[in-house]
Amino acid sequence: MKKDSRISLNTRFKTGAIFFFYALFYSVSAIGQLKPADSLKVIYLQNPDTVKRLDAVMVYLHSIPMMDFDARMQVSNAGIQLAVLSGDSLKIGQLFSLKGSSFYFKGVFDSAAHYFYKSVHVLEKKNYKKDLAHTLNNLARLYRKKREFPRALSTYDRAMNIFTELGDSEGIATIYNESGVVYEYMGDFDEAERRYKASLNIHIQRKDSVGISYAYSNIGYLYISLNKYKPAEEYLLKALEIRKNLKDSFALALNYNELGELYSKSGKFAKALDFISLSINIAAPNGYLDLLMDNYKKKAEVSAMMGNFKNAYGHYLTYSALKDSIYKVDVEARIEEVSTRYETEKKEAENELLKKTLDLRDLEIENRKNQNRVQKLTLFLISILLVFGVVVALFIYYRKRRELQIKLDAEVNQARDNERRRISRDLHDNLGAQMSYLIALMDNSKVSEIDKPLLNAMRDTAGQAIMTLRETVWAINLKEISVENFSDKFKQYVLKQTEYLSGIEVVFKEEIKTEKALGPAVALNIFRLCQEAFSNALKHSGASRILVTFRSDGEFDFYFSVEDNGVGFDVENGGKDGHYGLENMQTRAEESGAILKISSQKASGTRVEVFSVNSKQNER
């Protein structure tokens, strides 16, 4: 059971400002003294806003000890509900992972795997790479615990690839340490030692005392397996010294357990019993059941080697009782599952046999009734066969005709796709390259100070042209574009436009519940329309906050809006001064079969909406 009880959780969540963080910290410190249900009530009363409630719940959750399972479950469930309400996919994924870790520490491995996989699904879909890698590490640890070594290593490899891509040295060190345990279990001690020491070197560079202690512990325990007792003792005592300062109860209990095994194997039985007892004193009150079980097993073995068989027998009974309490539920569940499956299959077989018996009896009765009508039935069947033959011939004819039409349509579509890709390549490779070359020439041009503003303007125009070209290539290069894909592309555009702006907050709101797809022409038209709306908000509104909304649900096939809190304008005269390009936006909306709606009031901001109502809504 050794190192499989270890877990490393990263507490990562965003807060609006330093003041808000400290307010949360001090309020949650007081809340943590209450029962979970009462603490949640306080959080809900103190924070009317869902997002602030969620942040407070996340802080509170990380203050609860891992072994306080019921409290963690209650708070995790509340957090998941708030994360779903606020649409925060990142925190949903984090909370699923935290809930899985709680089940893992309690020994409920099927539920742990369930929530780890739910976390992976959410984080992978939204491309939250760092959190995904940490969840994969937790899942790999579970496979390691279940002795499924190939699956554990492949999952560790996925996590390692992500951490390497992100340049996350802490994550890389963690995977070296965790995967080294698998190689140790598999008997590949050289690879295990290489990974442990690689992890140690990274943690030393980072001055990470927690990581250093775990690397020391792993190397020391490996040397026990290799009968290198002196270096094993040196590494384990180094780890112990660090962990005493950190006051990590689980790590200390594990360290004492490992020292107990070291002294047991090296023949120092009295010393082994002292360290095992120290481990028990920590593991018992904290509910570290796996570790407690292993301690009593070791204590029984050492007592037997010392000739104290009475004590050995008592310790072994305690070990057996703990083992039964941990694994009995799992065994009974598997037995019940097999029994239920067997009873179901047996009942289905009996029903099938009864059905066949009744069918045979009905057939026999029908045969007796039809004996006097054989000739008439024969003639009737011949007529039916003739009709059937004609129907089959017509069916074959129309099917071949349809197949030919499908083939022709496919060839036409293929030709259209090839032409679209050719145009896309020509735009990208020729015009795009030429524009890039033009920009490079302007960057390297030596001009006078008088000509520099003109050159800069030309360069900016060329840059905008390249951006427009890329957006056009993006649209025509796809057969269809999902609303989610559209929203991601537009967010990239918005972030690029506001990259160097200060004093303005851009907020995105997504409610994408259906997989509605847009044609390339429609997507490009709507994209240009939204660009115009966002550009107007930046240039003319004087806003401090812009809200960009994307929706696709039972009410709308698609809905996009740009809303600012700026000065507003007179919509009736908006097209006359030429600032908002309303006529051009209206034309794009009409060409896309969409509805454009602009509402604005002086000093109250402006909202531009473009949407297409769901066809089912129109039918109502």
Residue 279 carries which side chain, given as an amino acid letter? S
The residues facing 562 across adjacent strands are 548, 608
615 and 484, same domain (yes or no): yes
Q: When comparing pLDDT for 224 and 462, which is higher?
A: 224
pLDDT band at 20 (very low <50, low <70, confident <90, very high): very low
pLDDT bin (cut points 50, 70, 90) of residue 75 is confident
Instruction: Note whether 485 and 615 are same-domain residues.
Output: yes
446 and 495 belong to one structural domain: no
Q: What local confidence, expressed as pLDDT, does residue 72 receive?
A: 79
Task: Identify any residues that bridge with 511 across adjacent strands, giving them in sequence order.
Answer: 551
Pairing mode, strands 517-518 and 545-552: unpaired
Which residues lie closer than 8 Å to 47 by C-beta, 6 or more apart? Answer: 53, 56
In a domain, 329, yes or no: no
Assign residue 214 the CATH number of its domain: 1.25.40.10
Predicted pLDDT of residue 327: 58
Q: Do 606 and 517 fall within a single domain?
A: yes
- pLDDT attached to residue 424: 53
Mean pLDDT within 168-189:
92
The verdict on 509 and 601 lying in the same domain is yes
If one compares 329 and 610, the residue with the highest pLDDT of the two is 610
pLDDT at 1: 42
- 507 and 581 in a common domain: yes
For the cut 80, the answer to whether the pLDDT of residue 469 exceeds it is no
> What pLDDT does residue 318 have?
86
Is 342's pLDDT higher than 50?
no
State the pLDDT at residue 406: 79
Of 608 and 387, the one with more pLDDT: 608
Q: What does the mean pLDDT of the chain come to?
A: 77
91-149 pLDDT, tens digit each: 889 899 988 888 887 777 888 888 899 899 999 888 999 999 999 999 999 889 888 89
Choose among 48, 11, 43: nearest CA to 30: 43
Highest mean pLDDT range out of 72-86, 476-490, 536-550, 567-581?
536-550
Note whether 550 and 483 are within 8 A (CB): yes
Structure tokens at 115: 């929530």
Instruction: Give yes or no: residues 485 and 582 share one domain.
Output: yes
Give tens-digit pLDDT for 183-212: 989 999 999 999 999 999 999 999 999 889
Per-residue confidence (pLDDT) for residue 163, from 0 to 100: 93
pLDDT computed for residue 358 by the predictor: 58
On the question of pLDDT at 158 being above 60, the answer is yes
pLDDT tens-digit readout, 408-453? 766 655 655 555 555 555 454 545 455 555 665 566 666 556 666 6
Above pLDDT 90, what percent of the chain?
Answer: 24
Q: Which residues contact 172 (CB under 8 A, 6 or more apart)?
A: 160, 163, 164, 202
> What percent of the chain lies above the pLDDT cut of 70?
71
Domain termination site, one of 198, 217, 247: 247
| 72 against 178, higher pLDDT | 178
pLDDT over threshold 80, residue 337: no
Q: Which carries the bigger pLDDT value, residue 31 or residue 141?
A: 141
**Average confidence (pLDDT) over 8-32:** 38
Q: Tell me if 413 is assigned to some domain.
A: yes
pLDDT value, residue 107: 74
Cα angle 206-209-215, degrees, rounded to a multiple of 5: 90
Chosen domain end from 205, 224, 247: 247
How high is the pLDDT of residue 280?
92
CA atoms within 13 A on the CB side of 443: 9
Shared domain for 520 and 508, answered yes or no, is yes
More confident residue, 367 or 525: 525
End-to-end CA gap in the chain: 62
pLDDT of 174 higher than 70: yes
**Where does a domain end: 422, 454, 477?**
477
H/E stretch holding 298: helix 289-305
Q: Answer yes or no: do 557 and 591 share one domain.
A: yes
pTM of the predicted model as reported, rounded to 2 decimal places: 0.47
**Across 48-62, 362-376, 543-557, least confident range:** 362-376
Residue 397: inside a domain: yes
What letter would DSSP give residue 222?
Answer: H
Q: Which of 159, 145, 48, 74 is nearest to 104 (CA)?
A: 145
Note the pLDDT of residue 400.
Answer: 84
User: pLDDT for 482-498, tens place per residue?
Assistant: 888 888 888 988 888 88
Report whether pLDDT(393) > 60: yes
Instruction: Identify whether the C-beta of residue 251 lies closer than 8 Å to the C-beta of residue 214.
Output: yes
Nearest to 330 by CA among 279, 285, 289, 295: 289
In a domain? residue 203:
yes
* pLDDT mean over 303-309: 87
39, part of any domain:
no
Question: Residue 495 belongs to a domain with what CATH number?
Answer: 3.30.565.10
pLDDT tens digits for range 217-267? 899 889 988 999 999 899 999 999 998 888 788 889 889 999 998 998 889
**More reliable by pLDDT, 593 or 17:** 593
Total domains in the fold of the chain: 3
Across 220-229, 494-503, 567-576, least confident range? 567-576
pLDDT computed for residue 346 by the predictor = 41
Task: Please check whether residue 285 lies inside any domain of the structure.
Answer: no
Residues 407 and 509 in one domain: no
Kindly state whether residue 213 falls inside one of the protein's structural domains.
yes
Number of continuous H segments (helices) and E segments (strands) in the chain:
23, 7
What pLDDT sits at residue 15?
A: 33
256 lies in some domain? no
Among 6-15, 83-92, 236-245, 604-613, which stretch is predicted with the lowest mean pLDDT?
A: 6-15
Question: Quick one: pLDDT band at residue 7, thresholds 50, 70, 90?
Answer: very low
Nearest to 602 by CA among 564, 574, 568: 568
Quickly list H helices, 446-519. 452-476, 483-497
Q: Please report the pLDDT score of residue 13 as a whole number.
A: 32
Q: Are residues 487 and 607 in the same domain?
A: yes
Domain enclosing residue 609, as ranges: 480-619
Checking if the pLDDT of 25 tops 70, the result is: no
Task: Give the per-residue pLDDT at 442.
Answer: 62
Task: Examine the domain organization and report whether 507 and 611 are in the same domain.
Answer: yes
Q: Are 545 and 504 in contact (CB under 8 A)?
A: yes
